[in-house]
Amino acid sequence: MSESKSNISAPAPVEGRPPVVLQVLPALVAGGVERGAVDIAGALVQAGCVSLVASEGGPMAYELQRVQAEHVTLPLGTKNPVGMWRNVKRLRQLIRARNVDIIHARSRAPAWSAYYAARAEGIHFMTTFHGAYGHGSEIKRTYNSIMARGERVIAPSRYIADHLASVYGVGPDRLRCIPRGVDTRIFAPEAVSAERVIQLAEQWRLPETLPLVLLAGRFTRGKGQTDLIHALARMKDMEFACVIAGADQGGSRFRTELEKLIASVGLGDRVWLVDHCNDMAAAYMLANVVVSASSHPESFGRTIGEAQAMGRPVVATDHGGAPEQILAGVTGKLVKPGDQEALAEGIRWALGLSHHMREQIAAAAITNIRGHFTKEQMCNATLAVYGELLG
């Protein structure tokens, strides 16, 4: 489901033709960067623009077809300097063949190629700075700096905007803070049928009577799965079930470590690791509390917004973009990163809510997301930035 065409503001035509925007990223796998690219690609099509996305491809490429955008397969995931330089030539050929007006980079390696291709062809170059990359050495800062060289630089949160200003010196003339947007037509309680919820509960083989704790995120150490398991081990006096959903990232070693940890703390009959979920709206409906326990600051935290859009209380670590989304004490709890006891107390709070309090939190959370963090707001603000460049 998508917003109607009339709600999307179109950039002005270029020399009497629709503007052509090319987004570049390494691949189209599941993630916030990829979701943002697909959402903007669809908004461009709705606005009557020509929408191109170049990447190595992946599972989400079919979503570009669904929104009638075009995918161009290029080896943009390479970090090999020779391969990156060859991508400059490939992108220049694409720019000329398709009359590209703006190239919008969403990741560092393809951004370097895109930057030099845009300069050589005399077109606009802009970026979205998706994360506070490590910048402890001069080499890292130089590599990262390409994401701060755009004529416009989009930050998905105030946290990233402050980082860009302080570390890379991006001024307000180029910096635009555009929060990630939740598709509130998909992530809405009224949009999820009981049949979908029942089907997912049966697929996960969940106990019918136990309240559910949910954490969704790739199986990588930074997502906080280990802290959640240790926190739940402190709560054995309470009744609960827990699902940790995600996709293996670069192998199954970490997932195996989690399985061993779950068994060692005696939670083998309460905590389940499941594969990436294709119906997250139904997953949130099953949950009594959604946890975001990332140990490193995230630029935004997509599950935090989606869960609130579904009216669910959220317990999240207090850094990155999380404090900008959660109304502390109203729609969720913020806890110190790495503090397993505080995380346990936050989950206890959420599981102990009365029916009336849960209804109040649901209403406040839905209002918060629909008022400030929608996909439509994100798309219109991004297309406005394209309009600034096109003049």
Domain limits, CATH 3.40.50.2000, in the chain: 5-181+374-390, 189-372
End-to-end CA distance of the chain: 31
Query: What pLDDT score was predicted for residue 15?
Result: 81
pLDDT higher than 80, residue 224: yes
pTM of this prediction exceeds 0.75: yes
pLDDT in tens, 283-310: 999 999 999 999 999 999 999 999 999 9
The distance between the two most distant Cα atoms of the chain, rounded to a whole number of Å, is 69
pLDDT higher for 148 or 250? 148
pLDDT in tens, 82-112: 999 999 999 999 999 999 999 999 999 999 9
Class of domain 189-372: alpha beta
User: What's 163's DSSP letter?
Assistant: H
Superfamily name and number for 5-181+374-390:
Glycogen Phosphorylase B; (3.40.50.2000)
pLDDT in tens, 236-292: 999 999 999 988 765 688 999 999 999 999 999 999 999 889 899 999 999 999 999
The answer to whether the beta carbons of residues 334 and 323 sit under 8 Å apart is yes
Phi, psi of 365 (to 5 degrees): -65, -45
Phi, psi of 130 (to 5 degrees): -85, -15
CA distances from 290 to 139, 214, 300 (A): 38, 5, 16
